[in-house]
Amino acid sequence: MTRTPIKNLAPFPDGFVTVAGWVETVRDQKKVQFVILRDESGAVQLVNPATRDLEDGASAEEHAAAALTETIGGLAHGTMIRVTGELKHDERVKLGGIEVKIATLEVVSEALPETPIADDSSLDKRLDWRFLDLRRPEASLIFKIQTTFEHALRSWWVERDFIEIHTPKLMASASESRAELFEMEYFETKAYLAQSPQFFKQMAQPAGFGKVFEIAPAFRADPSFTSRHATEFTSIDAEISWIDSHEDVMQMHEQLLAHAIGAVAAKHGAAIEAAFGVELSAPTTPFPRIPLAEARQIVADGGYEIPRADGDLDPEAERRLSAWVKANHGSDFVFVTDYATGIRPFYHMRREGDPTVTNSYDLLYNGTEISTGAQREHRLDVLIGQAREKGLEPEELEFYLDFFRYGVPPHGGFGMGLARVLMLMLGLGSIRETTYLFRGPTRLLP
Ligand code: AMO
């Protein structure tokens, strides 16, 4: 008999079914045994009337029943089993109103009796045993949500004629800054792991692609141990031609997110509320836009002095600003715009008439930055000047500067961390929870 995914059992009429999965719990009572069996789709109660203490002359059937009872009594948590039995609908069964009376049980793959992690294990310990940690339904739910989210992003882009690109992650130069750069041997020379697809998504503009996107890994040799930094993360990037300013990028960005979060809410809203206590709905657009100087003032008026010397918002300021926006505009999102030139990379376009600010933004979601976006400087002479000003050698950037020598449309885009979006969407405390396998300064395994 082919197996039926557990979530599909309920509509079946009473009768024989086969299910397969892992043992979540065994309740071995004197007269009856219960097993909670879980697969990727759900959990079901299995039941077996216990047969013990056979008398002399017991029948072969009774011996088989006693053997089954013994097998069930010895099942370790996590053991993979396949069971054929009789499905019965019974309203009294708390778990979904159904149970399966075991006819045959095959132990397919035994688990060691001691499970290395428990519900109260530390996050670090859980990550050591990530494959077991991921068996928790709330954990696999995160990746079902991720699948829906990415699918919705792609659909939105594809319907609007964006082209998907895959840029190389082995690079000859830094893509964001010399800091946080992974360097490696590359035959006779050195290579660097891409910190962002920045240069090559921009290359698609003189290539005449118009609108592009990429969802791919990015690498940062960031030694910090915060809840929102990883050394390898999935970056969601888009870049579009013929924009008038970063406003065009923000409009694309907010519509894209409203669509993708709406798709997640429609498909997983009830499960998200049950697992994480979050009521998710599609955000309304436009998201509020607040220039950085004003954002700083709002935070200062709230009694918090930002300790950073460079003028950027620190995590506490981001939280306070988001709380203010939520209270005053009812939005979980806010675009902080007009970043000062000093805290932005050389490729950001500066404001015409006020070169102290850039045509750029950060997007905050429920109190934390999830994205940076900007209009790019596409005028070669200005770009070279800005690179020099930031201490970069134009000679090292020749391949990038070439993109601007043969005609290039005005353009802009954004980069957004996938795990951060999921963490903030679900109200979780760390991107370690929303990354399949987290990579940090002290974690390369599993
Ligand atoms: P930025 O460096 O701000 O911009 O990165 C964009 C977004 O990527 C995510 N992110 C990270 N996530 C986890 N761990 C990290 N170490 C990490 N670093 C960044 C964040 C962040 O907001 N090229 C520009 C984007 C652009 O202008 O298009 C860039 O990379 O969510």
**Same-domain status, 380 and 305:** yes
Q: Which of 231, 233, 434 to mutate to test the pocket of ligand 1 (most atoms within 8 A of CB)?
A: 233
Q: What are the distances in angstroms from CA 431 to CA 105, 308, 420?
A: 39, 24, 6
**Same-domain status, 235 and 290:** yes
**Same-domain status, 150 and 267:** yes
Has residue 303 got a pLDDT over 90?
Answer: yes
Has residue 396 got a pLDDT over 90?
Answer: no
**Same-domain status, 268 and 390:** yes
Would you state the pLDDT for residue 176? 82
Strand-strand pairing, 42-49 and 98-109: parallel
In whole angstroms, what separates CA 216 from the centre of its chain? 12
Closest CA to 278 of 259, 256, 253, 261: 261
Has residue 311 got a pLDDT over 90?
Answer: no
- 433 domain residue, yes or no: no
Secondary structure of residue 157 in the 3-state scheme: helix
* Final residue in a domain of this structure, among 74, 109, 144: 109
Query: What angle in degrees, to the nearest 10, is found between the helix axes of 315-329 and 292-301?
Result: 90
Q: pLDDT for 159-175, tens place per residue?
A: 999 999 999 999 998 88
Q: pLDDT for 319-348, tens place per residue?
A: 999 999 999 999 999 999 999 999 999 999
- 161 domain residue, yes or no: yes
The three-point CA angle 88-89-92 to 5° equals 115
- 414 domain residue, yes or no: yes
**Same-domain status, 295 and 409:** yes
Would you state the pLDDT for residue 432? 98
Amino acid at the residue 77: H
Atom of ligand 1 nearest to the CA of 180: 16
Note down the domain range covering 82: 6-109
Q: What are the distances in angstroms from CA 363 to CA 92, 99, 127, 420, 431?
A: 49, 48, 29, 12, 17
**Same-domain status, 194 and 83:** no
- In this structure, which residue's CA is closest to atom 17 in ligand 1? 229
Q: What percent of the chain lies above the pLDDT cut of 70?
A: 100
Q: Any residues with Cβ below 6 Å from ligand 1, and which?
A: 176, 196, 198, 220, 222, 229-230, 233, 235, 237, 369-374, 413-417, 420
Q: pLDDT for 14-29, tens place per residue?
A: 999 999 999 999 999 9
Residue 393 CA to residue 85 CA, distance in Å, equals 72
**Same-domain status, 137 and 238:** yes
- 436 domain residue, yes or no: no
**Same-domain status, 301 and 165:** yes
**In 128-258, at which residue ranges do the beta strands (DSSP E only) sit?**
163-164, 170-171, 183-186, 189-193, 211-219, 232-241
**Same-domain status, 339 and 302:** yes
- Ligand 1 centroid to Cα of residue 416, in Å, is 6
The CATH number assigned to the domain holding 67 equals 2.40.50.140
Q: pLDDT tier at 118 (50, 70, 90 boundaries)?
A: very high
- 437 domain residue, yes or no: no
Placement of tokens 């009694």 in the chain: 303
Secondary structure of residue 322 in the 3-state scheme: helix
Rg, C-alpha atoms of the chain: 28
The CATH number assigned to the domain holding 307 equals 3.30.930.10
Q: Which two tokens stand for residue 200?
A: 């090559």
Q: pLDDT for 398-438, tens place per residue?
A: 999 999 999 999 999 999 999 999 999 999 999 999 999 99
pLDDT, averaged across the chain: 97
- 200 domain residue, yes or no: yes
Q: How far apart are the first and last CA of the chain?
A: 35
Whole-prediction pTM value? 0.97
Residue 253 CA to residue 251 CA, distance in Å, equals 5
- Ligand 1 centroid to Cα of residue 220, in Å, is 9
Has residue 1 got a pLDDT over 80?
Answer: no
CB 116 within 8 A of CB 76: no
Least confident stretch, 240-249, 305-314, 370-379 = 305-314
CB 298 within 8 A of CB 328: no
Counted domains in the chain: 2
- 377 domain residue, yes or no: yes
Atom of ligand 1 nearest to the CA of 374: 27
Residue 141 CA to residue 127 CA, distance in Å, equals 17
Q: pLDDT for 341-390, tens place per residue?
A: 999 999 999 999 999 999 999 999 999 999 999 999 999 999 999 999 99
**Same-domain status, 97 and 162:** no
**Same-domain status, 30 and 136:** no
Q: pLDDT for 197-240, tens place per residue?
A: 999 999 999 999 999 999 999 999 999 999 999 999 999 999 99
- In this structure, which residue's CA is closest to atom 3 in ligand 1? 372
Residue 378 CA to residue 115 CA, distance in Å, equals 57
Those residues whose C-beta lies under 8 Å from the C-beta of residue 331, and which sit 6 or more positions away, are 283, 284, 287, 288, 325
Any idea how long the chain is? 446
What sections of 111-222 are H helices per DSSP?
A: 123-128, 130-133, 137-159, 198-203
Would you state the pLDDT for residue 339? 97
Residue 272: φ, ψ to 5°: -65, -40
Would you state the pLDDT for residue 394? 87
Would you state the pLDDT for residue 242? 98
Has residue 441 got a pLDDT over 90?
Answer: yes
Strand-strand pairing, 42-49 and 163-164: unpaired
Strand-strand pairing, 354-358 and 183-186: unpaired
Would you state the pLDDT for residue 392? 87
CB 285 within 8 A of CB 254: yes
**Same-domain status, 175 and 316:** yes
Residue 294 CA to residue 139 CA, distance in Å, equals 39
- 443 domain residue, yes or no: no
Those residues whose C-beta lies under 8 Å from the C-beta of residue 355, and which sit 6 or more positions away, are 341
Residue 28 CA to residue 343 CA, distance in Å, equals 63
Residue 52 CA to residue 67 CA, distance in Å, equals 9
Q: pLDDT for 150-159, tens place per residue?
A: 999 999 999 9
Atom of ligand 1 nearest to the CA of 416: 7
Would you state the pLDDT for residue 412? 98
Residues belonging to the binding site for ATP are 369, 417-420
